[in-house]
Amino acid sequence: MEKWLTKDFEVENKNPSEAAIRRWRAAVSIVKNPRRRFRMVADLAKRFEAEKKRRTIKEKIRVALYVQKAALQFIDAGGRAEYRLPEEAREAGFSIHPDELSSIVRSHDIKGLKIHGGVEGIARKICVSLNEGVSTDDLPTRQKIYGFNSYTEKPSRTFLMFVWDALHDLTLNILMVCAVVSIGVGIPTEGWPKGIYDGVGILLSIFLVVMVTAISDFKQSLQFKDLDREKKKIFIQVTRDGRRNKVSIYDLVVGDIVHLSIGNQVPADGIYISGYSLLIDESSLSGESEPVNVYEEKPFFLSGTKVLDGSGKMLVTTVGMRTEWGKLMETLNEGGEDETPLQVKLNGVATVIGKIGLTFAVLTFLVLIVRYLAEKALNNEFSDWSSSDALTILNYFATAVTIIVVAVPEGLPLAVTLSLAFAMKKLMEERALVRHLSACETMGSATCICTDKTGTLTTNHMVVDKVWISEKSIDVKGNASDVLESEISGRVLGILLQAIFLNTSSEVVTDDNGKNIILGTPTEAALLEFGLLLGDDFDAQRREFKILKVEPFNSVRKKMSLLAALPDGGVRAFCKGASEIILRMCDKIVDCNGEPVHLPEEQVKNIADVINGFASGALRTLCLAFKDVDDTSIENSIPDSGYTLIAVVGIKDPVRPGVKDAVLTCLAAGITVRMVTGDNIYTAMAIARECGILTDGVALEGPEFRSMSPEQMKDIIPRIQVMARSLPLDKHTLVTHLRKMFSEVVAVTGDGTNDAPALHESDIGLAMGIEGTEVAKENADVIILDDNFKTIVNVAKWGRAVYINIQKFVQFQLTVNVVALVLNFVSACIAGSAPLTAVQLLWVNMIMDTLGALALATEPPNEGLMKRLPVGRGVSFITKAMWRNIIGHSIYQLAVLGVLFFDGKQLLKLSGSDASDVLNTLIFNTFVFCQVFNEINSRDIEKINIFRGIFDSWIFLGVMVSTVVFQVIIVEFLGDFASTVPLSWQLWLLSILLGSVSLLVAVILKCIPVERDTSHTTTNHHDGYEALPSGDNLA
């Protein structure tokens, strides 16, 4: 079957082309309910309109930004617009109109800003101190006058909307008409109330189908809504009430003092207060790729732009829908999300089966009509027509339409959405936020994970463990102050504390209880905590020195530098970062008296040995250095050489508990784990060995990798287990080659702004939720909220569960399809009647569609999923093992039902006027119990023990019990509507026994070996199933 689908129903798992999307949609020809089936599919027309709107807004911004000079000259010539301040704003003490404030920043009106007295003047007019920030008590007033920092969102869909969607099923609409006509013809023909039973039965069945469908879809929508809410939890650091703390970007108000650093998204429009080397990417707003420097002369920030480099503070001036970003946000979700490859493939399967079903339905109707007309002709009644004849033909038509209802597996693509929604909700509980549906699906096929070290494999709770200073290696314990003061001179200690407290982008603040809290990265927090242990005061150091310039740390420079004016009038540069980089910049070292002395080559080697010794003990190493700058003419230029080495610091970052087991789980599952880190190679190797990543593979450094030829890379990449001192570009190159050279399905972790290209290039981008920047999160498919490698393994496990659960459901549904179609068609051809009525077929459709999807598509993963190899690219979704089970169960069910239909009366010795009704009810009951037991069989496609873990899935058990209970009600109590009669206990027992024989049939089928398709799998990967087990493993 899938050979027919390859051409039209193949899309990329990430960023599929519009041509591929349009191609598969054009190929979908038989759809009962487009409104529901394509509910979770991107609306290309809306998407095009939204893109057009975005382009218009961006062009408007671009013009405002790049033609502002001429525009402002024109404004000056013609006079500025006047804004009348609202009375409530005046009463609250504000003296600038919200629209005027918005206009100054949006149009980068530097003259307008100066007219109002610059950033200090604006701060006065909106009643805020640039040091203290806004008062918490003022928040409601500011939100009332200047607005909320939230964006217009589409209203949520109500339950009735989902009912309305379900009612758009064409076949159900036809059956409604048939039911109404049946009632209209039945009453005069068969009298009241008998004449309404068939019609009302169909209407009740339709009502039940619609309600169950709507409830299922509505619950899915609530799950997606919860996930959307989680996606919007973005926090930023602000100063309020004189304290620095984190708040949600949606709680920002005009007047807030926001602290920006690399990777932050600017959360509102604002004006620069202070900062260092701020470089802003405005491409998301203006479309211009060239980043913009922000400083005193160009002080404007626009909401939605991103901080590429530097750090600083800004004053919030405009929030929410008054910003251009707010207008853009309105258009972001228009058109919906791209469909996943599995959804597309199953749309193709549904189309093929739908065509077959439609053919069978038409043939069944034609056979029934031709036989009926032939019988009338043979009985010389061809000219004698009555309303009962019309009712018979109407029932034939209703049966044919119901066959289409059953035959077109509308639930296949929707089952993927159901399974993904369920998996995403469970992953949310396990601290993983899935941003794109397809990522959850693709993660199940991952063959390689390229992971960071810090915070992902390690705890990210860092402490200074060792210090090499004044040619002495000192173990740092709780009594660090006493040890260091006894070992080194006061002058050396003073220079060390300057390097720690000045050259940092973090801050030490006090909470309400007077306790010190460090705000910043874990590495800097460890250094500051070490400095505080030495008994020094962070604020006192910062007040004593004036900071002139800062070059913040990033993953390319691998160092942070700072220029500070000394109290005595000199200028001093400080530098810290990757040990070998800083060591190369030094030509002097601080001696035991605190004096800079020459650093000979021999001592450089000794220090390198110290660094490697620290690193081999799994410590992160940093070097701290300083340089006194004599030439004041270059006070704003930080030197790159001639530094004096102060100390080598070894920071301990323990491996997370459970990481080694998680890595071993990956290896058992055929997933290669590679560590890609910016750390020292010895540190990386030590941690990698502790985690079980580095075994017999290769560990190398980024510069060595970059210098290789393509042929050398092709040879070494499969053996790489650790890459240290890597740049983001190295990670991107590795990911690209793994995907293109080796057809690997690659998952990549990232936390920094520069990781965005690798996250985007990978099959699954995994951003860190705690340490990850907003830029990294925006480019990721999954956000690991606890930064833990074990959570990544859980995502892979759930991805595999989604894939296997959909396979189970497809096997189950196709079996029901085959049996229902063949049974009705053969019966119509031979006997001239169909054993299953429209109402019964509608109930069967609900069992195999909505209820079947709920039971099988939501099963939790079992540990066995991570003991098989990943599914390779291009492997058939419907495997040979599935076809074996489908065909085998279909043959058994058709044989049983065929014998009952043609010889049931004789075999069971049924007699009397109701013998036909009893037999048809028995056939219906047996058919349903065959599906109940087949649903249990479908829990495992290859293993014999299908009861393993059954009590872990309460949804499955609930569906099974509900199906059996409702079947009893239909047979015993709703006979008039469902064309059934009550059965004796012996016939109930027979129905259950015949259904349960399916369990034995499954055992026999699973002992039949099937050839495995390995033509599309990558090296060491197969189609997702283990070789057929034998002996004890068969269960």
pLDDT in tens, 968-989: 998 998 887 788 899 999 999 9
> Which residue in 165, 452, 781, 849 is the catalytic one?
452
Write down the pLDDT at residue 190: 64
pLDDT in tens, 84-99: 888 888 888 898 998 8
Q: Is the pLDDT of residue 435 over 90?
A: no
Cis peptide upstream of residue 34 (ω within 30 degrees of 0): no
The whole-angstrom separation of Cα 259 and Cα 996 is 67
The whole-angstrom separation of Cα 183 and Cα 195 is 6
Helix (H, G, I), strand (E, B) or coil at 720: strand
pLDDT in tens, 470-481: 888 888 876 666
pLDDT in tens, 760-781: 889 999 988 888 888 888 888 8
Residue 912 identity? G
Q: Is the pLDDT of residue 737 over 90?
A: yes
Using CB atoms within 10 Å of the CB of residue 674, give its burial: 0 to 12 exposed, 13 to 18 middle, 19+ buried.
buried
Write down the pLDDT at residue 80: 60
The mean pLDDT value for 338-355 works out to 80
**pTM surpassing 0.85?**
no
| Tokens, residue 680 | 């020292």
Per-chain mean pLDDT for the chain: 84
Contact (Cβ atoms closer than 8 angstroms) between residue 149 and residue 253: yes
Write down the pLDDT at residue 1016: 41
The whole-angstrom separation of Cα 179 and Cα 174 is 9
Helix (H, G, I), strand (E, B) or coil at 473: strand
The whole-angstrom separation of Cα 248 and Cα 238 is 10
Q: Is the pLDDT of residue 372 over 60?
A: yes
State the pairing for strand pair 559-565/571-578. Answer: antiparallel
Partner residues linked to 644 by β-bridges:
588, 626
Q: Print burial letters for 324-349: b (CB count within 10 Å at least 16), e (below 16).
A: bbbbbbbbeebbeebbbbbbbbbbbb
Write down the pLDDT at residue 337: 66
DSSP string over 338-397: PPPHHHHHHHHHHHHHHHHHHHHHHHHHHHHHHHHHHHHHHTT-TT---HHHHHHHHHHH
Contact (Cβ atoms closer than 8 angstroms) between residue 669 and residue 868: yes
The mean pLDDT value for 590-608 works out to 91
* Residue 58 Cα to chain centre, angstroms: 28
Confidence grade of residue 694 (pLDDT, cut at 50, 70, 90): very high
Helix (H, G, I), strand (E, B) or coil at 201: helix
Locus of tokens 């080397």:
277
Percent of the chain with pLDDT strictly greater than 90? 31
**Would you call 99 a catalytic residue per the annotation?**
no
Q: Is the pLDDT of residue 802 over 60?
A: yes
The whole-angstrom separation of Cα 492 and Cα 590 is 7
Contact (Cβ atoms closer than 8 angstroms) between residue 626 and residue 560: no
Partner residues linked to 469 by β-bridges:
472, 647
The whole-angstrom separation of Cα 933 and Cα 956 is 12
**C-alpha to C-alpha distances, 92 to 104, 131, 143, nearest whole angstrom:** 22, 21, 12
* Residue 603 Cα to chain centre, angstroms: 51
* Residue 425 Cα to chain centre, angstroms: 11
For residue 574, which of 536, 622, 627, 524 has the smallest C-alpha distance?
627
**C-alpha to C-alpha distances, 162 to 157, 166, 347, nearest whole angstrom:** 8, 6, 21
The mean pLDDT value for 526-543 works out to 85
pLDDT in tens, 118-158: 999 999 999 999 989 999 999 999 999 999 988 877 777 88
Write down the pLDDT at residue 79: 54
For residue 347, which of 401, 409, 295, 423 has the smallest C-alpha distance?
409
| Tokens, residue 899 | 């014998």
Helices (H), 408-489: 411-429, 437-443, 480-487
The mean pLDDT value for 676-705 works out to 92
The mean pLDDT value for 34-48 works out to 72
The mean pLDDT value for 71-82 works out to 54
For the chain, give me the number of helices (H) and strands (E)? 40, 26
Confidence grade of residue 3 (pLDDT, cut at 50, 70, 90): low
| Tokens, residue 334 | 């228009």
Q: Is the pLDDT of residue 71 over 60?
A: no
Percent of the chain with pLDDT strictly greater than 70? 91
DSSP string over 887-922: HHHHHHHHHHHHHHHHHHHHHHT--STTHHHHHHHH
Residue 793 identity? V
The whole-angstrom separation of Cα 157 and Cα 179 is 30
Helix (H, G, I), strand (E, B) or coil at 628: strand
Confidence grade of residue 650 (pLDDT, cut at 50, 70, 90): very high
Confidence grade of residue 705 (pLDDT, cut at 50, 70, 90): very high
pLDDT in tens, 260-313: 988 888 999 999 999 888 889 888 777 677 888 998 888 999 988 888 888 899
